[in-house]
A and B are shown apart, each in its own frame.
Chain A
Amino acid sequence: MTYFPEEVVEHIFSFLPLHSDRNTVSLVCRVWYEVERLSRRAVFVGNCYAVRPERLVQRFPNVRTLTVKGKPHFADFNLVPPDWGGYAGPWIDAAARSCMGLEELRMKRMVVLDENLELLARSFPRFKALVLISCEGFSTDGLAAIASHCKLLRELDLQENDVDDHGPRWLSCFPDSCTSLVSLNFACIKGEVNPGALERLVARSPNLRSLRLNRSVSVDTLSKILVRTPNLEDLGTGNLTDESESYLRLSSALEKCKMLRSLSGFWDASPICVPFIYPLCHHLTGLNLSYTPTLDYSDLTKMISRCVKLQRLWVLDCISDKGLQVVASSCKDLQELRVFPSDFYVAGYSVVTEEGLVAISSGCPKLSSLLYFCHQMTNEALITVAKNCPNFIRFRLCILEPKKPDAITNQPLDEGFGAIVRECKGLRRLSISGLLTDKVFMDIGKYGKQLEMLSIAFAGDSDKGMMHVMNGCKNLRKLEIRDSPFSDVALLGNVAKYETMRSLWMSGCNVTLKGCQVLATKMPMLNVEIMNELDESSEMEENHGDPSRVDKLYVYRTTAGARNDAPDFVKIL
C-alpha cells in the first residue's frame, strides 16, 4: 500500500465516511498520516476544550467543514452557570489564519460574538453554510455581517439560539446578487423582519428547499412567499393567527408546493388554520407542533390522522393519551416521537401517561427515537414497550416528578428500564427517571453494550450503581448525572475509563474536593473542573483536602491541558 502514489491513497481514503475510520488510518504510518490530514475535508470536535484550535487547523489545513460543540448538555437546563466558557472566538480566529478553504461551520452550545461572525464573514471566500444550535452571545448585527459578505451563502440555519434583536436590518443585508440560498432558518429570531425584504430574498433564491420563518411573519406574507417556492421541501410557518380569508390565500399557495415534506412553526396557531393544512398532510414525513399550545387534542388529531406517511412527530402533551392512540393508528411509519410538557411545573396538568406510550409502541413498530415527558409510568408499560419496539436507538423518558415510583405497584421502575436495555440491543442513548435503585444500573451495565450516552437524575442507592455503568458500558462516551448518591468511591472506581469517554458530568452528588484532586493527580490527561457557588470559592482555597462536597463536576479528556478562559467560579485541578 505504501508503494501507491499518494493520490491513490488519498482517493482510497475518500471512501471512508466515518471520522473514526479516518482517525484510525492516520495512525498506521507517517505517510498515511500526512495523506490523511491533508485530504481531510470534515472535522468533528465533540468538546471544544479537548484539543487546541491552533493545533487542529495546523493538522487539517484543507478542512472544509468544521463542527464544534461547547458546553455540556446539562447547560440546556441552566445547570451550567453563565460565563462558563465554550467560546467560538478561538476557533474562528484559528481557522481564519490557517484554513482559507473553510466552507461550513457548525456549532452547538457555544458562545458566539458578533465580532466572531464578522471575522467569519470576511475570512473565507468560499463560505457556504453556517449552522448554530443553542448558541448565544450574538445579535442580528452579526447576522447582518454574514448576509453582507458571504457571497456564496447556501445555508443559514439558526436553531434555538438566544439572539439579541437589533432590528430587522439584517435580512436586508443580503445583496441583490445573492441568489444561492438553499436553506434559511431564522425561527429563533425574536423581532420583526421586513416582509418586503423577505419576499424579495425568496424571489431571488430559486434553489430554496428549506425555509423556517419566525413568529413575526404573517399568514399573508407566508402566502406571498410560498407562491415563489414551488420546490420547497421543509417549511416553518410564521404565526397563524390571522382572519379566515388569509387562510384561503395560504391554502392555494400551499397547493403549489408539491415537494413539501416537513412542517414546523405554527406559532400561536389558531384552530382555524387546521383544515387548510389538510391537503399537505398526506405527504408529510416530518411535523413539529411542539411550540403550539393553542391547538388542543381534537385539532391535533384531525391533522395528524391524515399524516399517514409521518416519520417524525414532535408534539405537546396536550395531545393526551387519546391523541397518541390516534397517532398510533394513523402513522405506521413513525420513527421519531417527542412529547414535550405544555406545563413545566412538576405537578402540572399533564395528560400523557404510560397508556399513550404503550399505544404508540404497539401501533408504530418502527419507532427508534423517543423523548417522552409524562406524569406517570409503570413497569408493565415499559416492558410492553420494550417488546413492541426492539429497535430503539434513543430512549429518553422524563417522568415529571423526580423519584416517582410505578404508578400502580409503587415499586421502583428498575424492571421497566431493565427491559428496555435488554430488548433494545442497538440502544445508543438513554435517559432514565422515576424511582430507581442500583438494580437498574446492573441491567444497564450488563445489557447496554452499545450505549454511548446516559443521563441519570435522582436515581440509585449507592456507589455500586455508578460502578455498574462505568464497568459494563463498553461504548460509553458521555455520562451525565445529577442529584444521585454517588461519591468519590464511584468517581475513582475506574479512572482509566475516563480516557475512553468524552466527558462526565456530576452535579448534586456526593463527590468531594479530595476525591476530585485524587482523580486529577491520577489522570493528567483529564481536565477536572469544579464549580461551586461564588461565595464558596474562597472557602475552597483555604480548606485544601477538606471533605467539602463538590457542587458541580465536569471531567473530560483533553490534549490541550487546562484551559485559560475559565471564569473565577471554575477551578481546574
Chain B
Amino acid sequence: METVVGDLMATELRLGLPGTVDDMKAAAPSTPRGKKRTTAADPVDDSAAADDEATKQRDAEAAPPAAKAPVVGWPPVRSYRKSCFQASSKPQSKPATKEEVSTTAAAAPSAAANATAGSSFVKVSMEGAPYLRKVDLRMYKGYRELREALEAMFVSSNNGGGANLSEFAVTYEDKDGDLMLVGDVPFEMFTSTCKKLRIMKRSEATGLGSARQ
C-alpha cells in the first residue's frame, strides 16, 4: 500500500520543484503510517507483533534512498530559504540532478526540467573584454532577444551609439565541447545544449559560414 502511495506521489503533477512538498501535501506523505492504520482494520491478535511490523515499515520508509520520493521536511531547511531559491536562479544546470528529477517526476518532464534548471546561467566571454559575464538563457524567448541582451551587455559599454554585434560572431560551446555558431538550431535546442557563449571577432570566425543574423 505504501509503495503505491509513494509511486503516485512520484508521478504527481505539481507546479513546485520536485522535492518541495508544500503544506497541503505535507499531510499526504506522512500518511504511510495512516495507511498502516486503515489496512490494520482487521484486529490483530498480538499487538506487539503489529508494533514490530510497524517499526520495520517505518524504518523502511524512514530511510529513503536518494532516488525515491523526498522526505517531508528534509533536509531541514527553512521554507523562507527554499522560497528565495525558487525565486532566484541557479548558476548552471546540473546534469545529475536533472536525471534524478526526471525519474521522480515522469509525468511532466519538461515542466520538471524547467523547474529544476529554473534558469541556466552560462558564461559569456568576449574578445577584448577584461572579464566574463553570465546570462540566463531561459530568460530569452529567441535568438533576437539573446542578441539584444548581449549587445546591451558588451557592446554598448564600449562604443557610443549604434552598438551592435555585426563585427562579431556569436559562438557557443555545446555539450560535446564543440564550438558552434549560434543560430543554426531551434532556440529550445540551443538553450539545452549550450554550455558557454563566446563572442569572437568576425575575422576569427572564418570557416563557420555566414551568420544569418
Contacts and interface: CB of A to CB of B under 8 A. Distances in A.
A458 B51 contact: no
Contact of A485 (B55, B77, B153): B55
Interface stretch (B2-10, B23-31, B192-200): B23-31
A345 B19 contact: yes
A33 B59 CA distance: 52
A294 B26 contact: no
B207 interface: no
Interface string A209-220: 000000100000
Nearest to B44: A547
A345 B23 CA distance: 18
Interface stretch (A95-103, A137-145, A167-175, A335-343): A335-343
A347 B100 contact: yes
Interface stretch (B80-88, B173-181, B182-190): B80-88
A81 B91 CA distance: 33
A349 B27 CA distance: 28
A76 interface: yes
A2 interface: no
Interface string A390-403: 00000000101111
Contact of B94 (A271, A343, A487): A343
Interface residues of A, number: 66
Contacts of A398: 75-76
Contacts of B26: 78-79, 81
Interface in B96-152: 96-97, 100-101, 121, 131-134
Interface string B66-82: 11001111111111111
B78 A77 contact: yes
A507 B100 CA distance: 28
Given A294-B89, A510-B51, A346 B75 contact: yes
A486 to B, nearest CB: 10
Contacts of B66: 345-347, 401
A510 B63 contact: no
B73 to A, nearest CB: 4
Contact of B27 (A76, A81, A342, A431): A81
B27 A534 contact: yes
A567 to B, nearest CB: 13
B62 A458 contact: yes
Nearest to B37: A548
B159 to A, nearest CB: 14
A508 B33 contact: yes
Interface in B1-59: 17-23, 26-27, 30-31, 33-34, 36-37, 47, 50-51, 54-55, 58-59
Contacts of A343: 94, 97
B125 to A, nearest CB: 12
A508 B30 contact: yes
A160 interface: yes
Interface in A335-369: 340-349
A76 B74 CA distance: 11
A78 B75 CA distance: 11
A245 interface: yes
A244 B78 CA distance: 33
Contacts of A344: 17, 19-20, 75, 77, 82, 85
A160 B80 contact: yes
A539 B37 contact: yes
Contact of B23 (A82, A291, A295, A400): A82
Interface in A298-348: 318, 340-348
Contacts of A268: 88-89
Q: Give the interface SS of chain A, mostly helix, strand, loop or mixed.
A: loop
A243 interface: yes
A547 B64 CA distance: 26
Contact of B85 (A293, A400, A532): A293
A403 B63 contact: yes
Contact of A402 (B37, B58, B63): B63
Given A77-B76, A340-B81, A536-B37, A458 B63 contact: yes
Contacts of A190: 87
Most buried by B among A134, A345, A533: A345
A502 to B, nearest CB: 19
A272 interface: yes
A549 interface: yes
Given A160-B80, A293-B85, A485 B59 contact: yes
A346 B76 contact: no
A457 B58 contact: no
B76 A457 contact: yes
B210 interface: no
A501 interface: no
A457 B33 CA distance: 17
Contact of B70 (A160, A342, A345): A345
Given A293-B85, A533-B27, A340 B58 contact: no
Contacts of B67: 347
Given A81-B26, A346-B64, A401-B66, A510 B54 contact: yes
Contacts of A290: 81
A272 B59 contact: no
A164 interface: no
A78 B19 contact: no
B157 interface: yes
A498 interface: no
A526 to B, nearest CB: 24
A447 interface: no
B90 interface: yes
A548 B36 CA distance: 10
Nearest to B32: A508
Contacts of B94: 343, 348-349
Interface string A80-99: 01100000000000000000
B130 to A, nearest CB: 9
B63 A373 contact: no
B72 to A, nearest CB: 7
Interface string A517-550: 0000000000000001111100100000001110
A478 interface: no
26 contacts: A78-B72, A78-B73, A161-B80, A215-B87, A268-B89, A270-B134, A271-B131, A271-B132, A290-B81, A293-B88, A341-B77, A344-B17, A344-B20, A345-B66, A346-B74, A348-B96, A348-B100, A349-B97, A403-B63, A483-B71, A485-B58, A533-B30, A535-B34, A548-B37, A551-B30, A551-B34
Chain A to chain B: the 7 pairs with minimum beta-carbon distance, closest first: A347-B66, A77-B73, A160-B80, A403-B63, A483-B62, A349-B94, A79-B73
Given A190-B87, A535-B34, A549-B37, 6 more contacts: A77-B76, A77-B78, A134-B80, A162-B79, A510-B58, A536-B34
